[in-house]
Structure formats: C-alpha cells, structure tokens
Amino acid sequence: MLPWYQRAISTLSAYLPLMLMALVALATWWLVKNTPVFQGAKPVAAARHIPDYTMRNFTVQRFAADGSLRLQIEGDEARHYPDTDTLEIDRARIRSIAPDSGVTVATAQKAISNGDGSEVQLTGQAHVVRQATQVGDNTLEAIDFKSEFLHAFLQTEQVRSHLPVTITRGTVRIQGASMNYDNLGRVAQFSGGVKATFGPGGQSR
C-alpha cells in the first residue's frame, strides 16, 4: 500500500483539474461575456475604488452545443471595480458539470477574480466538492475541500491556501495548516502539523 501522502497526491492529481475548470469558467467566460462595453472616448479621471456596475440576486447559466447545462453561477451581488479590474461576488454559488457528467460545486462568502481571469480567490467558508462520478464500472469517490481561503492560479494550475485546509475523500481526511498544490508538477505540500485519518476506525498519522 502506498504511503498516505502519496495517496493524497494521487487523489489531488485526479480531482484538482476539475475544480480548476470550474474556476476557469467563472474567471474567464463570465468576465468576457458579461462585462458591459462602453462606447466613445471619455475623459481620464483619477482611479477610485468604486464599482462601475453591479448585479444583484443573479443567476448566469452556460449551456453546451447540445443544450445540456455546463455551468451555473449564482450570487447575492456582483461588483466590478475598474481601478483594480477585479470582479467580486458575494455568497458565490458555482455548479460546473463536466462532459463526463461529473459535478463540481463551489461555494464561498466571497469570490474575487482578477481582470484576465488568471487568479480566483474564494474567501470565507470556501467549500469545493467534486461529487462522486461513475466511470464505466468504477465509481470515483467524492472529494471535499474546505478552508477559509482558497487561491487558484489558473495559468500555472496551482491552488494555495495559507489558512488551515481539510480534504476529505471517502474515509480519508487530511488536514494541514496550509496547502500548496502544483497540478503540473503533481506535487502537493502541506505544512503545520499535518494530520491524516484513514478508515472507519479513524486511525490517524
């Protein structure tokens, strides 16, 4: 049997790209499709941290060519700040459906994306769940990420958190004071008193 940390890296390698896909959809597609276009030249003014548009109690959906739902984004309010070119969503609720019908659900008190969609931050009760998926005769177990902060770097395919993180898959739970995951390098680093619990008996290491 592989050591627990190798099994953890294997688990992350299998599921993190799907979470990144959901965040890419949030950061890039929504910004491109929903940012208002302003016509005509305007005088240059000193930048102030004031939103140039807002949306309240909104739902945005994206469908595939065959009409099937691929992405749904809901929030209590969204604000775009032109001075920092960032988009903030209060009480973000994101549901992404992959071509293999796998479902990833992400929620947070606030989601923040930078202008080019290369970074997305989930803050306040950040929770990402890749639901169990049937692949042929095999069932991929659900995997659950919880933290007060998750920071995804989409171009480099990294996910970081400087705050405590709990990852659960089946009867395996891994906790660490921080996490740095590099999907391209298939390397997961946990620090600060890492604790892993295996099996129904709750054996810890």
162 assigned to some structural domain: yes
At position 56, the amino acid (one-letter code) is R
pLDDT tens for each residue of 4-24: 445 555 555 555 555 555 555
40 assigned to some structural domain: no
43 assigned to some structural domain: no
3-state SS class at 72? strand
Q: What residues does 130 pair with on adjacent strands?
A: 104, 143
- Domain tally for the chain? 1
Q: What's the rounded Cα separation, in Å, for the pair 14 and 8?
A: 10
Range of the domain at 123: 4-34+52-204
62 assigned to some structural domain: yes
**159 vs 7: which has the higher pLDDT:** 159
13 assigned to some structural domain: yes
pLDDT at position 109: 96
146 assigned to some structural domain: yes
44 assigned to some structural domain: no
pLDDT at position 161: 93
59 assigned to some structural domain: yes
pLDDT tens for each residue of 90-143: 999 888 887 777 788 888 999 998 776 678 899 999 998 888 877 777 777 888
Q: What is the CATH number of the domain that holds 63?
A: 2.60.450.10
pLDDT at 200 over 80: no
Sequence-distant contacts of 68-72: CB under 8 A, at least 24 apart: 68/97, 69/97, 70/25, 70/96, 70/97, 71/22, 71/25, 71/29, 71/95, 71/96, 71/97
